[in-house]
A and B are shown apart, each in its own frame.
Chain A
Amino acid sequence: MHGFADRLAGGNVAVNDAALEREFEARLVESSTLAFRVAYGVLRHRQDAEDVAQEAFVKAYRSFNQLRDRDRFRAWLVRMTWRLALDRQRGERRRLARESATQETAADASEEVIARERAALLWTAIDSLPDKLRIVIVLAGIEGHDTHDVARLLGIPQGTVKSRLFLARQRLKEQLQWTQ
């Protein structure tokens, strides 16, 4: 395919390809944490999340011609990562070893245990949400995304994000029965 492209457009193709590579590298650097955290929000396993994020980047690279716009790229990447993570989670439900996100932040042993329990309860509650609510609550919890950011990433109206976020929080609170 490359040879044919070269014959058609001569040296311009090589220049375009180099530009493509540079653009993709920039997207990779700025979106790698986002993709990883989206996958981690579903899988809660560092290695699995990295594998899924990597797979999403490979797919993004293959379709990069249609994804050169930054917003479009990030939105596509989030949705693809989410789908791949869900697929992997459904395929590996028997996995027992789950990492606790609060593992590294707890100050002492007792606090660590409490934090782990809380995190486990939280993730169980998040997992029980329908996918539409679940992705909204996870994206809103990543990198301080506001409703506008989440709406852009998911390609849905901001009002829809707000209502879904409200519903998701209601359900989580009902399940967790938190009293501050």
Chain B
Amino acid sequence: MDPVNDAALEREIERALAVDPSPEFLVRVRARIADEPAPASRGFGWLFAGVAATAVAASVVALVVLRPEQRVEPATGLLRSRALTSSVVVPAVSRGLDRAPRTTNLERRTANDALRATNLERQRSEPLFDAQETTALQRLIADVRDARVDLTPLTKEGPMPLPTMDPLVISPIVIEPLASSGIEGERP
């Protein structure tokens, strides 16, 4: 690079930019700024920033606290419907418009655990008999106890006769001893 050319170029540019604003410029700027409302003082700005930060923090905490409950409660239906539709849903055109919360592996695992626990609990508390049958049985027991139903005819008839059967013959099982083939551990 030629230093003479560089110096000449710099000089030329400096000369081209050596223009000062008119003396009225500052006056006009001051007049324009006088029409503006004063900028808020720093203390107020900090206060506003503090309030905004607190609000944001509160909403984040609320989101974190409420989110797992929303996931677990409708777990069965929500997860099943997700599984069914997952093969049909096309990737969203715009991610910005996709408001559905994305589930991470950890969240999904937590939801599955919750679902399993709910099912177990339901199985434990589920009745083994039909509700109508239970009611009928309870009513029968109560009626027998209160002598509203007489069961003596059933007991008088005695046990039901059983059909005669031929005795079952089972041939004894004989176990043949293994023939020794020389050295132990070798195949014959």
Contacts and interface: CB of A to CB of B under 8 A. Distances in A.
Decide whether A and B are members of one complex: yes
Interface string B9-24: 1101111111111100
Q: Is the interface of A mostly helix, strand, loop or mixed?
A: helix
Given A1-B37, A33-B21, A62-B36, A16 B43 contact: yes
Nearest to A173: B5
Contacts of B64: none
A8 B47 contact: yes
Interface residues of A, number: 58
A12 B47 CA distance: 14
A171 B21 CA distance: 29
B33 A57 contact: yes
Contact of A54 (B6, B9, B29, B43): B29
A32 B29 contact: yes
Interface string A114-158: 000011001100100000000001101110100000000000000
A28 B6 contact: no
Q: Which range contains the number of B residues in contact with the other chain?
A: 35 or more
A156 to B, nearest CB: 20
13 contacts: A1-B44, A5-B43, A40-B19, A46-B19, A46-B21, A50-B22, A61-B39, A65-B41, A101-B18, A126-B13, A140-B13, A141-B13, A173-B5
Interface of A: 1-2, 4-5, 8-9, 12-13, 16-17, 20-21, 24-25, 28-29, 32-33, 36-37, 40-41, 46, 49-50, 53-54, 57-58, 61-65, 68, 99, 101-102, 105, 118-119, 122-123, 126, 137-138, 140-142, 144, 166, 169-170, 172-173, 176, 178, 180
